[in-house]
Structure 1
């Protein structure tokens, strides 16, 4: 009898130990300290970038740049980001995505105040190269860390991280706008960088001390090798093209929405600003609810549905004859595009590890680069409303590409 009791007592222990070796433990609460810290990093990233964007006119006056010269200087930011992203992917493989996240956000926080202290276009371009390196590196490292955390939590929470970025951007734009009349650009950017360093230090301690996601027995080696062969590489490219289509629309809308509402739909400047704010709020709301939608609908349904919703909304926004209808179209675009980019990056990370995140992010950032430029040339040739319909075409392509990934 004692022997049988010992055998019975030991059986559940053996079964539990086998289960713990084969699957990662699921956190009791989905809002773990690591998730909160990583969400704070996403929010700081959006806050710092928005703080810089609202002070671009002041910096432009300070360096006495023409529109074309300012465009070349701003291009340096994008060049710095694109050149850094593949390097950061390799650094994440070697040192881990969490330490690289902390380092990238620290670099970004230190670079934010620098543009306000430049007095020539060349100096501004050089500073923005460093700014872009921090921004691009942070986006690759944060998304790589988020992919790992999603696997650890076993919940599709990737959209919530990007919701943090959107919320940070809204706060940064709002605070920057309020301070524009009272503080100089140098003081505003310096305070923003200081806040970024403080939050990076606090959230970094939490993130680095939190346990990493354990390796799943028999799982993919993508995290170790950066990919699982040509098939995984092709899937990452398709998902990167999905991110490109999404970012094409985001970049175009950010630069051309207010101009379209004022010039083509004859809205006032205040109404046009409110229209863009409605789009941004819709995107933030869509990302806040992205986890719930991913669970209810599934990612393979949510991504095509979002792309088609954005395509329909963009057609309405571009061709609507009235202001309320156009703004309603932009709201649909925000809701539709909200989860396409984060889910594409998450799936690219699952297929290709940090290198997959780096490649998909680089392609996505390329879409944000070419969107405003393509829209500008098409607007000169055929008018802005017709040019904006290319955003609908890109969104429809972003809806179809995930279906191709699913078949593969």
Structure 2
């Protein structure tokens, strides 16, 4: 059984990393894609919107597909969608058709939306089987994948490898890897196991996760922490350039400091979560994030600002995965709860940063981060909602 759990864990780590590699591969080539398409910044914004559109559709439909087929098949199918979309993006850049790139991003986004819920459901189930906190480390595998993908992207650019060749090679790597590891993921996780249509219907009608106070509070935790992560992903390099007057290369390097802190936080979090529990660790993480963001906003010294970026990354690293773990505590309705929390988290990723940009246009990006600061403080105050239930509370609902 231990060997099976280890293989299951390694398969999920691999799929998470593949998603990160694919995402960073696209990101690394976006300036060249913009140039070959001859797209303006506004047009490129609409093209990139395809990723958000596909992600939202995937998130909203994931729970239904998982209930019918199980999360293994959805996880595999979604990963294949991601790498297929990557190939379509490469093809669109080769034939210089904006519409094809847009379609490719929709396909990628659909895969990411489905994968976020499916792999998280698998991760929650793995945590129950292993009796160990693993979701932060699994999300850390995605972060590691983004670093690998960015490195491979930089190498491809240095070698002057055409975009289409680069993205197709990553896609082939993804296809082969998924075919090799999918069999180590147990079949049937998350699948409805009702003995009759009546039981299935009753089960569905009883669970309305959007009316559960605990689930909503977990959503607030994830909202605040995902907003802290997403705002840094979208705006931190530019904020460092505008606020600390560094050049673009230095701004990107400082963003790398944030990504490294996220990776360290996620890889090491499991030990502290298992030893001290979710609530104390989440509170400590929110305090770290608040301190880090405050050092970036209210300080003019670059060295202290970089330290603040690192602390910000450490603090923001675990809110999303720990929220997903908490949402899956009760196995009955776990798919719906994980799906709902994922929707909240992705909404913070997709909608929060553009809103922050509008505010930053008026008050400056550094001052706009005050909004992020407030949401993280709120997340810290409601972190008690992530408390692990007692054995009595874990009993199936009647």
Q: When the two structures are aligned, how many residues end up with a matched partner?
A: 375
Match of 2:339 in 1: 358
Match of 1:166 in 2: 143
**Residues 1:305 and 2:309 are matched in the alignment:** no
Match of 2:383 in 1: 402
Aligned counterpart in structure 1 of residue 308 of structure 2, from 329, 343, 353 = 329
Match of 2:86 in 1: 112
SS in 2 for 1:112: helix
Match of 1:271 in 2: 250
Match of 1:24 in 2: none
Q: C-alpha offsets along residues 270-322 of structure 1, whole Å, 9 cap, x if unaligned?
A: 32222111111111011111110101221111112212210111010122212
Q: How far apart are the structure 2 equivalents of 1:298 and 1:407?
A: 8
Match of 2:107 in 1: 130
Q: Gaps (5+ residues) in structure 2?
A: 193-198, 390-398
Match of 2:129 in 1: 152
Q: How far apart are the structure 1 equivalents of 2:73 and 2:258?
A: 34
Measure how far apart 1:250 and its partner are.
Answer: 1.5
- Structure 1 segments, 4+ long, off by >6 Å, are none
Q: C-alpha offsets along residues 375-395 of structure 1, whole Å, 9 cap, x if unaligned?
A: 211111111210122221121
SS in 1 for 2:283: helix
Q: How far apart are the structure 2 equivalents of 1:181 and 1:157?
A: 36
Match of 1:39 in 2: 13
Match of 1:189 in 2: 167
Q: How far apart are the structure 1 equivalents of 2:238 and 2:205?
A: 43
Q: How far apart are the structure 2 equivalents of 1:128 and 1:330?
A: 30
Question: What are the within-5 Å matches in structure 2 for residues 4-153 of structure 1?
Answer: 28=2, 32-118=6-92, 119-153=96-130
Highest CA radius of gyration, 1 or 2? Answer: 1
| Preserved contact between residue 136 and residue 321 of structure 2 (Cα < 8 Å) | yes
Structure 1 residues 212 and 363 mapped into 2: Cα distance closer, same or farther (>3 Å)? closer
Structure 1 residues 200 and 226 mapped into 2: Cα distance closer, same or farther (>3 Å)? farther
**TM-score after normalising by structure 2:** 0.88
Question: What are the within-5 Å matches in structure 2 for residues 224-373 of structure 1?
Answer: 225=203, 229=207, 233-351=212-330, 352-373=333-354
Q: How far apart are the structure 2 equivalents of 1:54 and 1:407?
A: 39
